[in-house]
Copies of this chain bind each other. A is one copy, B any other.
Amino acid sequence: MVRATKQRKTIHHVLVKYRRPLSVSEILKLAQSEVAGLGIATVYRNLKALQEEGQVIQVDLPGQSPRWEVTPGGHHHHFLCRKCDKLFEIHDCPRDIQRILPKGYILEEHDVLLRGQCDACSRTANTRQPKATAE
């Protein structure tokens, strides 16, 4: 039987509250402010458990450690802001992907990762944004 400990509830709550993919260290820091003494191993164990329950998913970006988010609706892609390092969901999809496939290849999945500046950062053109991904 799965037990609703305050650690597990807090980890899930942090992901619900911030509504975008967070790294393990961000989750640890944010959850520790609610549960003093929370250990990193507990974060890893609960993220994996929540993933198996289907409540959260792991988001892998090329060359970065994984981030975690509450399971999103349907098919989507991601936009990574190069200024503030936040990751956003894009609920749309290129339509002409099949076209670029070489002959004989069978397409089963596709990932699209966009990089640039998010709305907030593009407004403050030359201002340097903090790199913090948790706010």
Residues of A within 8 A of B (CB): 58, 60-63, 66, 77, 79, 82, 88, 90, 92-97, 99-119, 122-123
Task: Name A110's contact: one of B58, B66, B96, B112 (CB within 8 Å).
Answer: B112
6 new A-B contacts, CB < 8 A, other than A90-B102, A94-B99, A104-B119, are: A60-B63, A92-B100, A104-B118, A109-B115, A112-B112, A113-B113
A95→B92 CA distance, assembly (Å):
14
Contact A107 B116 (CB under 8 A): yes
Q: Are A111 and B79 also in contact (CB < 8 A) when A96-B95, A105-B122, A116-B105 are?
A: no
Q: Are A100 and B94 also in contact (CB < 8 A) when A63-B60, A63-B66, A105-B118 are?
A: yes
